Structure 1
């Protein structure tokens, strides 16, 4: 029979083996989802449950929009990547990196800009009325951009780079022997594309389409502006307009399940479909020169994609921003710029520190700790609306408990410390973008290896000295890159900021949203242009890193 000392030794050993910090991190990052799940269960059968037709309508319209965007982004993204990697035509090198630029335009900004261009008072319809002499919309026909097809077209125009980047990387790493063999056997370019290129690129295509569809689920501003009853828009209106937290929680859990299915589908596609053959990635694949009309068709196709996804939105924003350059517009933009930069900088610092800790724990610990950290980084796949909704009640409850404690001890009530302050936003930002910082830092740590740290220990460095003299300096580029990416993501983030911002605080994203929703998008063009300029930063960084890898 074990003695008391042996029992204490076994319990201590098990406690030490338990990855407490990774599990605590996973619990903190998973708090919103856990709270929503519990709230959704409590609301079943209650007065705050879902309406009879709310969920079916949300799923139908969201599913239709996802399928439409998936088909459009998959088609144009794959063709664009196939053209720039397999053929030589004028401006190909420019299109090679420029086709990524639409990623700098948030979906809600693209929606606002397109409506300004294609609406009744926009330049296109105004020119059409000037030509045919019409005075009202009854005198001529023009498609309504605020519709399901309009939303699918606009979202696809800025989301196709997800498919383009994934397929382009796949084609550059793929051996060209299969295509050469097909052409040798007499297959033409189109037949080779459909019988060889398309089947072998299926894993990359699925990855890109999945990412695009996840962005559709995450979107709030664009679907609301187009009048689409998407599930995120219904969650927002259910909570804000009807104060029905139980119904909103059930819808949010449905979103999590949809996202989970997309992630599982993407992982199965990568696991079960591996068609890549080995090739020296430093040698670009052979490109066939296009001749006659085909070369100009390729140029026209790439120009069309670039114009739809980047030219029209940014051009309209720049036109409106410089046309409505009033002192009050500049003052309004600067007032929103200060909290935006403050939140983005603080959120980037916190998220990078947490990402560094998570990467170091995953690097040193076992499978249990790595699994917990992987769960903690899943917040990036969850829409900001869902995360914000899941934090509203627990943070409010924490404020209530804290105020009761201070009243009992010091008869002092501090008010809303967590749910009504910047702390709530910083918390949701760290959950939402932890995957961005963790993946960047973890990749850098694996690339660096441990030999340089071992050398530092041999030379007598330990603890904080090893951290600040060797560890952090060698990871500095990755830390800076992760901070930059998180900073830009926070600047563009709309749903979570819209739900959790303190009273009186306006960021660039919420300012654009509030002005556009009341028909004053011209006043919001300048802050919208700032958001796009911020979004160009990661695109430029990615392009420069890609150019360095080619050298």
Structure 2
């Protein structure tokens, strides 16, 4: 191993790590400043309502996701049910569906003017909404159902993997002691899967906290919506930063709670072995009931919304295939491509720095580069605007001081802000993919290169880069896809008259014209299916 690298490599690794974490530091610094009149007014009037709704939303989505994911994971890991071969990967499909698109489709279906209530009124003779009761989808409860229906696969994947890794001898011992499969599940499988469940619920909670489009569409006041409204409605970066600080506190609490819940738990178990040895044989009616439950999750979260989008796209194709659609698609591909390549280069730089620089703290730049992924997009957008806004004002003041004309919003009003926001948010994905490939390279290859007199740069070029090329491709692909789907940061950071496919679709959803945005929504969803296909193949290989 090389104990010394060039000063430029060391400096650039630390500089990039600090730059990528700087927006978070800027939010915290701004949030610790004395409260202004606007923030104090919000605290005195509506802020506690925002906080209460946020907590209820996270708890509701967590509970409902648990009720959806855990039975499905148990059936797929332990039971022989009809269609199990297809259900194993089909249950991952809802992850490709943006929640706000699903919200728009079910609102079209279930709202007062939708086909469901219209048919009920025609059949039963009801005239107005006062004549009957029907669940209001535009509510906190509706948001919980919609968000849980697309996020439960996070928990399903982790819980299923945990169930598959549990020893078959434990199940056999429970049966010898006279326990039913259900009793074995509650007393053995579920406690052993608690670490995986805690991680899955934490991921779901953070994704729920970050959601803006769905709660905004349903007019549910949450902290994410408060950040957006404070900046867009009042133009107060200071108040938005203070609310963002509250959200950072929530993120830290969620991460701490996840770690605390499994701080003393240690699990030692052998893999279950052959599949045929572990599948439980249920009664026929139980098998079909389990299959019906699992397929209903797939239909609710993916098949029905996607089928409706295909129908809408076919009906409104001539209205959807426009020069605007092509322009916004090119915008999206360009931004996502630039971010993906830059994120991969950063991941290579800090990943190889960690491997080759064997001094204490060499992993810090990589960890700093990854911190932004846990932060909601709206919060990161505010974190980008704080330093970029300061740079714009400073540059304009400096030029005007010497008698020139300032360039305006050179940083915060251009694509630079959007690219920076995406990089802070998604570099963690690239770091994870590239580091995974780097860790598979045997240390002996580094030693051989050093013995042959190769410099660190030459060793990286001839040994490391060829061996991590697959991981780099995966990193570029994943960051590209996530950048295409990102909405909250794009809504705040995009330049004037600049749209991405995500913001384009969201405008149609907000205007209740999802039919005309269906084609763009299908593009986003199909691209989002790529990592699920990769993940499915990876699971099958293991």
TM-score normalised to structure 2 length: 0.93
Deviation per CA, 1:80-134, whole angstroms, max 9, x where unpaired?
A: 1111111111111111111011111112222122212212233322332343344
Question: Is residue 179 from structure 1 mapped to residue 171 from structure 2 by the alignment?
Answer: yes
Asked whether the equivalents of residues 347 and 366 of structure 2 are also in contact (C-alpha less than 8 Å), the reply is no
In the alignment, which residue of structure 1 is the partner of 2:471? Answer: 478
- 8 Å CA contact 1:103–1:158 kept in 2: the answer is yes
Residue 148 of structure 1: how far off its partner (Å)? 1.2
Give the Å deviation of 1:69.
0.6
Secondary structure in structure 1 of the residue aligned to 2:267: coil
What is the aligned partner in structure 2 of residue 531 from structure 1? 524
Q: For 1:275, what is the secondary structure of its paired residue?
A: coil
2:17 pairs with 1, 10, 26, which one? Answer: 26
Q: Would the aligned equivalents of 2:166 and 2:272 in 1 still touch at CA under 8 Å?
A: no
- Contact 1:239/1:245 (CA < 8 Å) preserved in 2? yes
Q: C-alpha separation between the residues in 1 aligned to 2:269 and 2:229?
A: 49
SS in 2 for 1:88: coil
Which of 290, 296, 299 pairs up with 1:304? Answer: 296
Displacement after TM superposition at 1:284 (Å):
7.3
SS in 1 for 2:330: helix
Partner of 1:167: 159
Whether the 8 Å CA contact 2:371–2:428 is kept in 1: the answer is yes
| CA displacement 1:366-402 (0-9 Å, x = unmatched) | 4423234323311100001001011113102212333
Question: Can you list the C-alpha shifts for 1:214-264, whole angstroms capped at 9, x where unaligned?
Answer: 101000000111111111001111111122322221110010010001111
Distance 2:34 2:277 in 1: 57
Instruction: Verify the 8 A CA contact 2:100 2:509 in the aligned structure 1.
Output: no
| 8 Å contact from structure 1 (residues 85, 285) kept in 2 | no
Matched, 1:427 2:427: no
Look up the match of 1:41: 32
**1:102-501 alignment, distance < 5 Å:** 102-279=94-271, 286-327=278-319, 329-365=321-357, 366-405=359-398, 411=404, 413-458=406-451, 461-501=454-494
Runs of 5+ unmatched residues, structure 1: 1-12
* Alignment match, 1:76: 68
Q: Is the 8 A contact 2:38 2:239 kept in 1?
A: no
Q: Secondary structure at the match of 1:448?
A: coil
Contact 1:25 1:373 in 2 (8 A): no
Matched residues, number: 536
Q: Higher mean Cα deviation, 487-496 or 366-375?
A: 366-375
> Could you tell me whether the CA contact under 8 Å between 1:485 and 1:538 is conserved in 2?
yes
Q: Report the alpha carbon displacement of residue 543 of structure 1 after superposing the two structures with TM.
A: 1.0
Q: CA deviation at 1:52?
A: 0.9
Aligned-residue CA RMSD in angstroms? 2.4
Q: Secondary structure at the match of 2:215?
A: helix
The answer as to whether partners of 2:228 and 2:240 remain within 8 angstroms in 1 is yes
C-alpha change, 1:285 and 1:123, in structure 2 (3 Å) is farther
Change (3 A) 1:284 1:258: farther
| Structure 2 counterpart SS, 1:326 | helix
* Residues 388 and 428 in structure 1, CA contact (< 8 A), matched pair in contact too: yes
In 2, Cα distance between equivalents of 1:285 and 1:528: 43
CA shift in 2, pair 1:81/1:319, >3 Å: same
Corresponding residue to 2:535 among 539, 542, 546: 542
**2:278 alignment partner, SS class:** coil
- Of 112-121 and 303-312, more deviation after overlay is shown by 112-121
1:464 Cα offset (Å): 4.6
Aligned-pair distance for 1:442? 0.7
Shift of 1:280: 6.8
For residues 65 and 324 of structure 2, the distance between their equivalents in structure 1, rounded to whole angstroms, comes to 36
Contact 1:317 1:528 in 2 (8 A): yes
Contact map agreement 2:80 2:280 (CA 8 A) in 1: yes
Q: CA deviation at 1:519?
A: 2.2
C-alpha deviations, 1:159-182, integer Å up to 9, x for none? 100110011111122212222111
Q: CA deviation at 1:270?
A: 4.0
Cα distance 1:377–1:284, how it changes in 2: closer, same or farther (>3 A)? farther
Shifted more, 135-144 versus 374-383: the winner is 135-144
Query: Does the 8 Å contact 1:117/1:123 carry over to 2?
Result: yes
- Structure 1-normalised TM-score? 0.91
- Following superposition, the deviation at residue 339 of structure 1 comes to 0.3
Closer, same or farther in 2 for the Cα pair 1:48/1:192, shift >3 Å? closer
Matching residue of 2:90: 98
Give the distance between the partners of 1:418 and 1:281, measured in 2 at CA.
56
Range 266-275 or range 286-295, more displaced: 266-275
Aligned-partner Cα distance in 2 for 1:47–1:280:
58
Q: C-alpha separation between the residues in 2 aligned to 1:47 and 1:331? A: 42
Runs of 4+ in structure 1 deviating by more than 6 angstroms, as ranges, are 280-284
After superposing the two structures, state which structure 1 stretch, 479-488 or 285-294, moved more.
285-294
- Tell me, yes or no, if the aligned pair for 1:19 and 1:369 is still in contact at 8 Å: no
